[in-house]
């Protein structure tokens, strides 16, 4: 597997290397020795599976406050998503910056997002299923959300119409509100 650090420090694109033949393929999606060699090994405590039925579904931008910040290892097993991560680490040189990647069942890429980031997705196809490991227990009372279309972030979402949103995501505050109240995430 190839592990490539993205332009925002601490975020890694992981490219499994499937072994294919006439039956299909086999690929390793996690190897603690390789992850340890890159300093990105985590002890995973949850593995979550989400399904977004319709193209144009936006989820996020979600994060957890201390002591429940979390590292995520994300992959798509069906469909295609536009995956976004925003650096909220207090004192980071890239605080408030975002980056994106296309994750799909076809390209098999994975993304490791460290603690201190907001995370969101936009489905580019119908029936997008994602699996993601997290290294901390989910605590709803420590959940934070930044509005997906905050103009201060300027994320260029690949939408062809109005997004499909949860009530919670549609009512989220912006980055400025987060900065004024919290100044950043301590990780």
Please report which helix (H) or strand (E) contains residue 118, including its range.
Answer: strand 117-123
Percent of the chain with pLDDT over 90: 99
Q: How far is CA 39 from CA 12, 74, 111, 116, 181, in A?
A: 11, 17, 15, 17, 32
Query: What domains, with CATH codes, occur in the chain?
Result: 44-182 (2.60.120.10)
Instruction: Provide the pLDDT for residue 43.
Output: 95
Write out the H or E segment, with its range, that includes residue 15: strand 12-15
Structure tokens at 111: 């993304």
* Known active-site residue 25: no
Alpha helices in 38-88 (DSSP H): none
Q: What is the band of 48 on the pLDDT scale with cuts at 50, 70, 90?
A: very high
Facing residues of 46 across strands? Answer: 134
Say how far residue 173 (Cα) sits from the centre of its chain: 19
Catalytic residue (choose from 41, 46, 132, 137): 132
Query: Helices then strands (H, E): number in the chain?
Result: 3, 13
104-115 mean pLDDT: 98
DSSP H/E element including 167: helix 167-170
Beta strand 117-123 pairing with 12-15: unpaired
Residues 25, 30, 62, 142: which is the catalytic one?
62
Query: Distance between CA atoms of 124 and 81, rounded to whole angstroms?
Result: 5
Among the listed residues 77, 75, 10, 3, the one whose alpha carbon sits nearest the alpha carbon of residue 34: 3
pLDDT in tens, 113-145: 999 999 999 999 999 999 999 999 999 999 999
Which pLDDT value is given to residue 14? Answer: 97
68 is catalytic: no
pLDDT at 32: 93
Instruction: Determine the pLDDT at residue 28.
Output: 94
Quote the mean pLDDT of the chain.
97
Contact 95, 86 (CB under 8 A): no
* Per-residue pLDDT tens digits for 56-105: 999 999 999 999 999 999 999 999 999 999 999 999 999 999 999 999 99
């Amino acid at each position: 597997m190839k592990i490539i650090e993205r332009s925002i420090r601490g975020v890694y694109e992981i490219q499994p290397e499937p072994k294919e033949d006439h039956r299909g393929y086999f690929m390793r999606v996690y190897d603690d020795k390789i992850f340890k060699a890159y300093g990105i090994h985590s002890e995973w405590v949850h593995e979550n599976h989400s399904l977004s039925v319709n193209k144009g579904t936006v989820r996020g931008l979600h994060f957890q406050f201390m002591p429940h910040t979390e590292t995520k290892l994300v992959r798509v097993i069906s469909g295609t998503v536009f995956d976004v991560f925003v650096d909220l680490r207090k004192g980071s040189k890239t605080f408030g910056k975002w980056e994106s990647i296309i994750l799909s069942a076809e390209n098999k890429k994975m993304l490791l997002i460290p603690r201190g980031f907001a995370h969101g997705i936009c489905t580019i196809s119908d029936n997008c299923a994602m699996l993601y490991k997290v290294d901390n227990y989910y605590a709803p009372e420590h959940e934070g959300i930044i509005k997906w279309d905050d103009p201060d972030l300027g994320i260029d979402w690949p939408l062809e119409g109005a997004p499909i949103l949860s009530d919670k995501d549609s009512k989220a505050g912006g980055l400025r509100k987060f900065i004024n109240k919290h100044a950043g995430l301590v990780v």
